[in-house]
A = this chain, B = another copy of it.
Amino acid sequence: MVESARRKKRSGGRAGNAERRGLAVIEQMPWNPPVNIDRPVAPLTEEGIAAIHDGAMRILEEIGVAFLNEEAIEVLRGSGGCLIDGANVRMDRDFVMEMIAKAPSHWTITPRNPDRTLTMGARHINFGNVSSPPSYWDMKLGRKVTGTREMCRDFLKLSQYFNCIHFVGGYPVEPQDIHASVRHLDVLYDKLTLSDKVAHAYCLGKERVEDVMEMVRIAGGLSDAEFEARPHMYTNINSTSPLKHDQPMLDGWMRMARRNQGLVVTPFTLAGAMAPVTMAGAVAQSLAESLCAVVLAQVIRPGACCAIGTFTSNVDMKSGAPAFGTPEYMRATQMTGQLARFYGLPMRASGVCAANVPDGQAMWETSNSLWSAVQAGANMVYHAAGWLEGGLIASPEKFVMDCEILQHIQRYMDPMLTATGPEDIAVEAVREVGDQGHFFGIQHTQDRYTTAFYQPFLSDWRNYEAWEASGGVWTAQRAHQLYQDIIASFEAPPMDIAIRDELAAFVERRKSEGGAPTDF
């Protein structure tokens, strides 16, 4: 691979500076979260849906799930629908269905910039950045290193910059140079000042959850009542499969439910490891684990805004390593989508891969996972940009490359592509050109050519000779250059100075109080 990279030609001086700023680095598609116009891919028959539903219900009725949180146990005991034995909670299927029927089929999240409000549910698709890798890789380093705040800030800038990233999930890379007791304060300060998109809180102890809710409230300039009037942020919890919800996850889940924020529960059910080796079994178990958390939320707050996620994949049975973007992963995602519609709940999926570097394998695995999310009718796609090594590495090149795929999906959902009005069928244009000449110059083309087709920002469509003459740069290296350019020219979205000061003061105060305990 050639190390040099194509750079855009630029003029110097003030005009050049202006051009470099903000959105000028690439021509990207506008902010416009896609609406899924396709019928979902539905591998299950009605009987198949019923069989998986029955399996999930039998798991909840006959086997039960451990709720490792006394408060949650007491809430469920008071619900009148659960059989409780220590931490083990069994739920009657009628009770489960009655509770999840209270959950709205779609709901909104309104971040500090209301223009960035997202709808979770119906046919809406929302993409988020990679979240939670401990490590970082980029082409300049050429190796895997521990995440830092600076790297995390760079990903927050990329997340804000790209219009195809609709929400900012967890830490895009874990900034391990910040002490864990105050990490949430610094990262949320960075996130809320560098971005105006929907933000997220990890459920890692009550102090963190409360701090993040307070910071999102401050950033939005909201009163407590306004904050609780509708979701302004969300959390995502993972069950500890098989069949357990742990203490801090449940604690945060309940705190967020009480304050009417978005609730997403995503079991991590690797078939053959934490779940049955059969995909339908792994999906049934995943549903049991997610639905009982939705029940808990509905008991606490009927109508709480919930979504169920899928993270069902398979392991490599030779090594036990997790695999992502496999055929099994795709089918599990699609099956979960069918069941999410059956339950009337919004759905979360992911853009994931097992590849260690942003190469061909990374792209076929990520394409498989992203498109299967779309085919499943997922409303929220986590890790949609930047994920490598099964989530252990965040990479800016991968982030930029994935955004090209996300733009494909956004464009693919534009009804213009499949419009069939008389001007689309264009018999008169065909008549005009006849069997001689070409369509470049005719009026029908001239009227439409600027918007007729998707324009990539990273794909290089030049022929080999032109590509070679400009350095012969492979995709990942082109993405590296774009990442550098975007970071260099990034401008944070506007924020009222008083709000910024209030956020900073909050962070200072909480740091002086010692932040959050680290013994979770």
Contact = CB atoms under 8 A, between A and B. Distances in A.
B474 A242 contact: no
Counting every copy of the chain, the complex holds: 2
Interface in A4-40: 37-39
B429 A281 contact: yes
Interface residues of A, number: 129
Contact of A52 (B425, B464, B468): B425
A461 B321 contact: yes
Nearest to A139: B1
Contacts of A317: 449-450, 452-453
A495 interface: no
Nearest to A465: B144
Nearest to A63: B431
A93 B427 CA distance: 15
A310 to B, nearest CB: 14
A417 interface: yes
Interface in A35-52: 37-39, 41-44, 47-48, 51-52
Nearest to A445: B277
Contact of A285 (B271, B277, B327, B430): B430
Contacts of A224: none
Interface in A343-369: 354-365, 367-368
A326 interface: yes
Contacts of A119: none
A319 B43 CA distance: 41
B425 A277 contact: no
B431 A62 contact: yes
A426 interface: yes
Contacts of A196: none
Given A242-B435, A364-B408, A420-B47, A444 B356 contact: no
**Looking at chain A's contact residues, is the secondary structure mostly helix, strand, loop, or mixed?**
mixed
A52 B420 contact: yes
A459 interface: yes
B38 A361 contact: no
Interface stretch (A101-109, A300-308, A328-336, A507-515): A328-336
Interface string A434-450: 11011110001100111
Interface string A466-493: 0110001011100100000000000000
A357 B279 CA distance: 36
Contact of A355 (B280, B318, B444, B459): B459
Nearest to A137: B464
B425 A281 contact: yes
A226 to B, nearest CB: 39
A365 B314 contact: no
Contacts of A141: none
A506 interface: no
A339 B465 CA distance: 38
A274 interface: yes
Nearest to A240: B435
Contact of A327 (B335, B361, B412): B412
A333 B401 CA distance: 24
B328 A453 contact: yes
8 contacts: A52-B425, A62-B431, A242-B437, A272-B439, A280-B425, A280-B426, A281-B424, A322-B461
Given A273-B438, A321-B463, A335-B418, 18 more contacts: A43-B418, A62-B431, A242-B435, A242-B437, A274-B438, A280-B420, A281-B426, A285-B430, A321-B461, A326-B454, A328-B452, A330-B412, A355-B460, A356-B468, A360-B362, A367-B368, A368-B408, A371-B371
